[in-house]
Structure 1
Amino acid sequence: MELREPTPDDADRVREVVRSAMTTSYALSPEQIETIVEAQFGDDRPTRDFEGSDAAVIVAESEVNGGPSTIAGVVVGELDGDEGEVRWLFVDPEHRGAGIGTELFETMVGALRDQGAERVRASTLEANMEGHGFFERFEYERLGVRQAEFGDESLEEYVYVEPSADEETEAEAEAEAEAGIDRKTKAEADGETGTATEADADGETDADEAEAEVDLPGTERRDGVPTATTDDGRQVYVDRDDELSGEEAPFFAAYLDEEFTERYGYYCAYCGSLDVTEDTMGRVECDECGNTHAARSGEAYDDSYL
């Protein structure tokens, strides 16, 4: 895999990757996707760099199944004074699972710091069904919600902050207000009230209750990490922070090691099976119970274009 700045000849391929990734992972109509692609990646925007603007694009070029090398992912970063932001991150569905997204994210964060960013944020549309867990794996915390305008479209966008960020100053609060960020916790953004209960009074938090309520059938804990066993006797580790929605229950990423570096596949939280398949378009289905990947709770859309 090679990370590099794109050239003008790469513009069409960059837009193709963006369309494909959004079609697979975003609860948006084809018309909405096209509006975003044209607004954010039209004309010469895919070839921006920090030398000529306050934004830069980095692409990842990779092979798949021994075929020719092609652009497999793209990341966009923006710089505003000493504030940096990872604005867009896309990986072609056919190239997922190879660590391309992680490489792009970490490289862009490094590039933003090289350009003088003291703090780095990340953002993604609320309609992104799979991207929120990605930032949380880096321990980025959801700061709040803002409105993003694309032509006539106004869409909600979640903003994340890095865990090492210092305590908020009055100037930072003013900057957030100017950027239109509505500060919310993750629980608030998900619609949770945070109302105290009798369990809270006894020392059990809402987060503890939520953890207890999510049943992971067929698992046991090893050093605090849920584990399951494959049909051929291998033990895999279930990453509860890497969640993919499902019609009956969520799917969680499964790994062969406790550090979550060697990916195995998905674990189905409905029946406890690891017999989960994912096609080239990113559709996920449990072969044991038929549980399928769906939009996140509260979203409704026609999945004929996924």
Structure 2
Amino acid sequence: MNVRPASPADGPAIRDVARRSLQASYSLGPQAITSAIEEWYDEEQLEATLADGDRLLLVADDDGQIVGFSESVLAADNTGTLLWLHVDPAHRGVGNAASLFERTREQLRELGATHLQGRVLDDNVDGNTFYEEQGFERAGSEEIDIAGQTYVENLYTESERWGREPMETDEGRTVYVDHDNHERGSIAPFHVVYGGEDAEDRYGYFCSNCNTLANAMDSMGRIECDGCGNVRKPLRWDAAYL
């Protein structure tokens, strides 16, 4: 099996593998799966992903047949995040997932990643077990929206926890960036920022794409980084933070 960068011609095979994998591993309805694949891997989005230098899309090619793929992103703080790792159910159990994972990790490190993390939906038992078998530890969880439904997604990191890093605001106040607690952004993750080291007082967010603080939230829970345009889009459960 050859693990290589994806090309535009791999689009149909990537969508097919994603569909089979999601059907086998997740409690998602047919419409949710179809909507997710259209949103994440249609031709336009796939082209944008392949053109993004901070995105990594690798395919597992078994003698011309795509049997799996991984999608990752590298943030400006050198955090490499494995967003998805899919293997066709008919090709599982023979080491394809492990080979794809190891090559993805190598590629992220070659791109400059010094910290690695992975995300997997909570109801994917095999996926959670897989990260544990690779020596990763669960560092937290968050709710995400897929086709209008809320799901819990677990965050796994390599065994070393990164902790909270003090940072001074423009007003001279010391706040703490939690490198183990992230939320999705349109370009790169936002780290949660606390007003105290005890993590009881949430201050705002830290944009990992340009390493700046972003603490202005509108009435709908939307945050946009002034430095680079990275956006944390509001989701249904954001009303709890208004």
Which TM-score band (shorter chain)? 0.5 to 0.7
Quote the sequence identity (%).
27
Partner of 1:22: 22
Superposition pairs of residues 229-268 of structure 1, within 5 angstroms: none
Greater Rg, structure 1 or structure 2? Answer: 1
Q: How many pairs are equivalent?
A: 176
The CA deviation string for residues 61-86 of structure 1, in whole angstroms up to 9 with x for no partner, is 115xxxxx300000001111111101
Compare the two structures and name the one with the higher strand fraction. Answer: 2
> Structure 2: where are the runs of 5+ without partners?
167-175, 185-189, 193-242
Which letter does structure 1 place at the counterpart of 2:88? D
The Cα offsets for residues 95-148 of structure 1, whole Å up to 9 and x where unpaired, read as 112211111111111111122222110001123232000000011010111122
* Structure 2 partner of 1:124: 120
Amino acid corresponding to residue 43 of structure 1 in structure 2: E
Letter in 2 for 1:97: G
1:33 and 2:33 correspond = yes
TM norm structure 2: 0.65
Label 1:122 to 1:147 Cα distance change in 2 as closer, same or farther (>3 A): same
Measured after TM superposition, the shift of residue 166 of structure 1 is: 4.2
Tell me, in whole angstroms, the C-alpha distance in 2 between the residues paired with 1:126 and 1:145: 8
In 2, the alpha carbon distance for the partners of 1:177 and 1:149 equals: 15
Distance 2:118 2:183 in 1: 17
**Aligned counterpart for 1:73 among listed residues 65, 68, 84:** 68
1:25 offset after TM fit, Å? 1.2
Q: Give the direction of change, closer, same or farther, for the CA distance of 1:80–1:18 in structure 2 (3 Å limit).
A: same
Asked whether the 8 Å contact 1:46–1:57 carries over to 2, the reply is no
- Distance in 2 (alpha carbons) for counterparts of 1:133 and 1:147: 20
Unpaired segments ≥5 residues, structure 1: 64-68, 183-306
Could you say what the CA RMSD is over the residues aligned between the two structures, in angstroms?
2.3
Contact 2:83 2:119 in 1 (8 A): yes
Give the corresponding residue for 1:201.
none
Q: 1:103 aligns with which of 99, 113, 117?
A: 99
- Tell me, yes or no, if the aligned pair for 2:162 and 2:180 is still in contact at 8 Å: no
CA displacement at 1:168 relative to structure 2: 4.2
Partner of 2:238: none
In structure 1, give the amino acid aligned to 2:91: H
Correspondence 1:13 to 2:16: no
Instruction: Indicate the residue corresponding to 1:114 in structure 2.
Output: 110
Letter in 2 for 1:58: L
| 1:132–1:42 distance in 2 versus 1, CA, 3 Å | same
Counterpart mapping for 1:44-193 below 5 A? 44-46=44-46, 48-49=49-50, 52-63=52-63, 69-81=64-76, 82-170=78-166, 171-173=176-178, 176=181, 179=184
Deviations along 1:157-211, whole A, 9 cap, x unmatched? Answer: 10001013444434541672555789xxxxxxxxxxxxxxxxxxxxxxxxxxxxx
